[in-house]
Structures are given as C-alpha cells and as structure tokens.
C-alpha cells in the first residue's frame, strides 16, 4: 500500500543552517499554533497535526536550536540533503523509500518550475 503521509522528522532544511550536526533528525512542530507535531505528505506538503495548516515544504521556514530565533527559509540543497538522510536510515522499508523518492521528485519539479534549479 502506498503511503500518503509520514511524521515529519528530518534534519533542518533551513537555508544556510549552521548546525554542527547537519544529519541530526529533528521532530518539527508548528509554532504559530503551538502545535506539537507535523506530517509530511506525498505532495511534499507539511501539515500541522493540530491546526491542519499546510504548506509546500519549499515555502516553509525552519528554526532549529542553532538559530532558535531566526526562521530560515527552506533551501533546495538543504532540503534534498535532509531527505537523503531519511533515505539512508536502515529502518526505511520499500514503501517509505518510494514515498521519500516521490517527495524528492515533487520538490525537484516544483524547484525547476520556479527556476531555483
């Protein structure tokens, strides 16, 4: 069965993030509603589990503990790195892999449409 969404756990996709642990996986939350968890959909949208707000992942801004007060817009390179870290997790099974590859393709095609890559 194909997966439509997963819990959104990933390294920081913020452009120019200065984390000394760029592969560290973080549990993301939606700060405007103080939500606790988010999903990543197969359309590469982030969906807040608490308020339902959703946005395309490339349109998001992210603050990890290394820039806690500075929301950095998602960077294409950082985002594809973040997903490659998830793909390299040995616990990823075939359906997870298909999901993550699909998300990567979606991000790439939208980035091409926008002239980012």
What length is written for the chain?
117
| 30 near Zn ion, judged by CB under 5 A | yes
The H helix count followed by the E strand count for the chain is: 2, 8
Sole binder of Zn ion in the list 8, 10, 11, 17 (CB under 5 A): 17
Cα gap 13→94, rounded to integer Å: 24
How far apart are CB 48 and Zn ion at their closest, in Å?
A: 3
Is there a contact between 56 and 116 (Cβ–Cβ < 8 Å)? no
User: Which stretch in 41-49, 81-89, 98-106, 109-117 sits in contact with Zn ion by CB under 5 A?
Assistant: 41-49
Sole binder of Zn ion in the list 7, 21, 33, 114 (CB under 5 A): 33
| 50 near Zn ion, judged by CB under 5 A | yes
Cβ closer to Zn ion: 33 or 117? Answer: 33
Cα gap 4→9, rounded to integer Å: 15
Cα gap 93→83, rounded to integer Å: 14
Cα gap 57→39, rounded to integer Å: 11
Sole binder of Zn ion in the list 44, 46, 47, 48 (CB under 5 A): 48
Q: Which residues bind Zn ion (CB under 5 A)?
A: 12, 14, 17, 19, 30, 33, 35, 48, 50-51, 53, 64
């Amino acid at each position: 069965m194909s997966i439509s969404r997963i819990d959104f756990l990933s390294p920081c996709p913020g452009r120019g993030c200065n984390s000394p642990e760029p592969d560290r996986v973080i549990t993301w939350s939606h700060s405007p509603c103080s939500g606790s968890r988010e999903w990543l959909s197969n359309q590469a949208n982030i969906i807040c589990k608490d308020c339902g707000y959703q946005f395309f992942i490339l349109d998001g801004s992210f603050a990890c503990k290394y820039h806690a007060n500075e929301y950095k817009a998602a960077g294409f390179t950082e985002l594809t790195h973040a997903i490659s870290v998830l793909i390299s997790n040995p616990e990823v099974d075939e359906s997870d892999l298909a999901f993550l590859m699909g998300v990567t393709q979606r991000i790439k095609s939208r980035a091409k449409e926008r002239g980012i890559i």
